[in-house]
Amino acid sequence: MRTTTTGSKFSVTLSSSLAALAISLGYSAPALAQQAEEISSSVQETGQAPESDSLGVIIVTARKFEENIQETPIAITALTGDELQARQIDSTVGLDRIAPNLVVSQGQGVSGNSSAGSYFVRGIGQLDFLLNTDPGVGLYVDGVYIARSIGSIIELIDLERVEVLRGPQGTLFGRNTIGGAISMVSRKPSRTFQGEAELTVGSFDRVDARVQVEGPLGDSIAAKLGVLYRDRDGWVDRITDGTTLGDEESIAIRGAISFEPSDRVTVDVIAEYLDSEGTSPPANVVQIVESAAFPSFVNGALVGPPCVPPPSPLDNPACLNSQYEADDLFEERGTFNSFQSTEVLGVSATINWEVSDGLTIKSITGYRDTSAVGNRDGDHTPFVIQNTSDTFEHEQFSQEIQFLGSLFDERVRYVLGGFYFSEKGENLSFIDFPVVSFQSGGSVDNENLAMFGQATWDITDQLAFTAGLRWTEETKTFLPDQFITRDVTGAFPPGSVPGFRLVPFTVSEIDISEVQPMFNISYDIVPELMVYATYSEGFKSGGFTQRIFPPLPAPPSFGPEFATSYEVGFKSTLAGGLVRFNGAGFYTDYADIQTIVFRGVQPLTENAGDAEIKGFELELEALPADGLNIRAAVGYLDARFTSLDPAVLVTGVNLDSEFPQVPEWSANFGISYEIENVGPGTLTPRVDLSWRDGVFLDAANTPAIFQPDYALLNASLNWESYSGSWLVSLFAQNITDQSYIVGGFADLTDQGYAEVQVGRPFEAGFSVMRRF
């Protein structure tokens, strides 16, 4: 389907990219060229560019040191907290609207919980939410790794910046950053007393209220405390009982303390708590196969004519039939309890000790405790084809030590470190089929230990070489707790009774040991243009199959997957600081891919085979006129299987299968214009457009859960007083009311249905903020 339009899309994208480059060089934009000339004159007179007439410097810590993003030779997108707010991005869900080749989905898979996140970078990520499945993209909050899908949808509030790093980051970030890393950095408490209060109201009876205060507690201590309350309705109506899927009510509390016991030591402690309740993620059924095993059983043995409601058409003897397929994605007819909840407690402490001018020791300690419940009516009909209920208890602890230093008059910069991680958790799934019910899942106890080092040598003022290495040792254990709770036929297996175990109640263990290198070379052709090349490796840890049905003598394990990436790129600052134009091209050798496939009614993870991924990214930011800001990006991916395990071929996955959740093309564009002297302040209209190519949402490429290409259009009108004390915003999202899906599940052979997660429709709102 995509091959018929690839040529035109490529030509449009290439033309747009060349036009952007031409504009950035000043060939076809007189206003931009004139501004560049004025800046050049200012540089000659004063020795520096006027800050108001340039894009400014973005400082990132992607390589653990503070660096200008334009001098960091990796593919990275970074936005400040203020920029995220201006773009209406209030959680990690919206990050794929600004970073190319990034896909983020909420309430993923069959979790029944909206806090479950799925993240893909350059075609590598994770679809499942289970405790035994590791992410393919590492999430980090103030340097602390977030290990599980449940609880990984994070509110982007009070942030200094977000950094999206693309490609394997195995050396410095390490654990399961095979696709990339998303690093969120909080604002430190101010040493001046201040605060802000914000109220937002909008569609679906949305009410957000946020209050934050900060200031000094003494000569060397500053603190901050913030509270957020959110309440809003969902957007898929359940007509059988009058409820709505997607309802949310939550409260979040966040406190931070920054302490400087001496001129060379700083201590930052952050504590946060989230309590959220609501109904299941908005989803619906889009296909029902009457001849499949479970619908046939329901129609023949459990229900049968006369049907309530009557079948459609009336001469159809089957009660469960295609009449339940959603004509309108925003109405469903499920009956199973749609409750979900998430509770998260997190604490982190970061200590920086500047031992000398050439050595700093940094300690990052993190603890996180998550409890969650997720219920789901998978078939979304009044009948029982599949209902699931998951309980989730998880706690993790991590400790990282970094030694950051420089040698030889700072021509060599290095970081050496060690990392320890441990987690314990229990994930139990309660599953109802028409003929049998059982408890699935179990508990884990995992440990990870790593040592790492990386050094950059400035060979000349223009040429730099970086090398890094990380050694990882990991032990994973799984204790399955799975047994039959109901069997109406006595045939699963023959003679089973409630309490019959599907797998022995014994611990299974795997050990993993890996070493990943990284090499990078960069060259400044001129001060405004850098080119670089990188070789990097990453791996995602293995685990155990958590869903077991019918019985097995032991839970099957799956091994790690590996990525070897070759990347070349450039970073340019043009037109006297008015334009940033960056790009990267890459080739990834992707081996032992962990893929979700079906064995009967079991969706389980297996090492399916190998693939290659090729692609590129282009990013542009420009100030073509006073007050006018343009930001755009485009990403391209060509992901193809090169070999598959013969056992996987029988599951519907083949060499021609497309990767799930991986669009071939994606692009975004944002434009804003600051208008001065609108009352005692500035008025800034803003428009943002994000577009994504069509994707299948499962590995078997089920046509019913294919999402064609679509675009989301957002807009806002922001007024800010000159004093900065008032900020008023009108905003709208998905202005064209685009209907789209963000996830899916399909088993057409046994369970006989295909289910989709439904994206947000048109929303509008109003917010007012008072700073004091």
Block mean pLDDT (10 aa), the chain, length 772: 35 38 38 43 39 77 94 96 91 94 88 94 92 93 95 92 95 91 96 96 97 95 97 96 95 96 96 97 94 86 66 66 90 94 98 96 98 96 92 97 96 97 96 91 97 97 97 96 86 76 94 96 97 97 89 91 97 95 98 85 85 97 96 97 84 88 96 94 97 94 96 97 96 97 92 95 97 94
Q: Sheet harboring 117-121: ordered strands across? A: 102-106, 117-121, 124-125
DSSP 3-state assignment of 478? Answer: strand
Cβ within 8 Å of residue 235, ≥6 positions away:
204, 244, 245, 246, 282, 330, 758, 760, 761
Distance CA 256, CA 226 (A): 9
Cβ atoms of 202 and 764 within 8 Å: the answer is yes
Distance CA 753, CA 433 (A): 13
pLDDT of amino acid 304: 62
Tell me the sheet residues that pair with 216: 222
The single-letter DSSP state of residue 699 is T
> Is 0.85 surpassed by the pTM of this model?
yes
pLDDT of amino acid 13: 37
Cβ within 8 Å of residue 14, ≥6 positions away:
none
Helices then strands, each counted (H, E), the chain: 5, 45
Q: Dmax over Cα atoms in the chain, in whole Å?
A: 91
Total residue length of the chain: 772
Residue with tokens 């930052």: 268
Q: Taking phi first (over 0 means left), then psi (-120 to 50 degrees means alpha), and beta for anything else, what does residue 410 get?
A: left
Cβ atoms of 496 and 541 within 8 Å: the answer is no
Cβ atoms of 630 and 671 within 8 Å: the answer is yes
Q: For residue 622, how many other CB atoms are within 10 A of its CB?
A: 23
Backbone torsions φ then ψ of 26, nearest 5 degrees: 85, 10
Tokens of 598: 């079906």
- Per-domain boundaries in the chain: 6-771
Q: For residue 655, how many other CB atoms are within 10 A of its CB?
A: 12
Q: Which of 469, 567, 523 is nearest to 167 (CA)?
A: 567
Q: Which of 614, 603, 616, 557 is nearest to 697 (CA)?
A: 603
Cβ atoms of 386 and 431 within 8 Å: the answer is yes
Q: For domain 6-771, which CATH number applies: 2.40.170.20, 3.90.1150.10, 3.40.50.1970, 2.40.420.20?
A: 2.40.170.20
pLDDT of amino acid 524: 97
Strands 628-644 and 609-625: antiparallel
The single-letter DSSP state of residue 301 is I
Backbone torsions φ then ψ of 521, nearest 5 degrees: -130, 135
Amino acid identity at 241: D
Tell me the sheet residues that pair with 748: none
pLDDT of amino acid 462: 97
Which contiguous run of DSSP H or E holds residue 80?
strand 76-80
Distance CA 727, CA 318 (A): 58
pLDDT of amino acid 31: 42
CA–CA distance from 490 to each of 43, 318, 497, 554, 602 (Å)? 84, 25, 7, 22, 19
Distance CA 287, CA 323 (A): 10
Q: Which of 463, 421, 467 is nearest to 444 (CA)?
A: 421
Cβ within 8 Å of residue 318, ≥6 positions away:
290, 295, 299, 307, 311
- 3-state SS, 9-51, equals HHHHHHHHHHHHHHHHHCCCCHHHHHHHHHHHHHHHHHCCCCH
pLDDT of amino acid 390: 95
Cβ atoms of 122 and 184 within 8 Å: the answer is no
CA–CA distance from 292 to each of 158, 321, 378, 488 (Å)? 50, 11, 15, 18
Distance CA 303, CA 381 (A): 13
DSSP string covering 538-570, please?
A: EEE--EE-----S--SS--EE--EEEEEEEEEE
Distance CA 638, CA 719 (A): 42
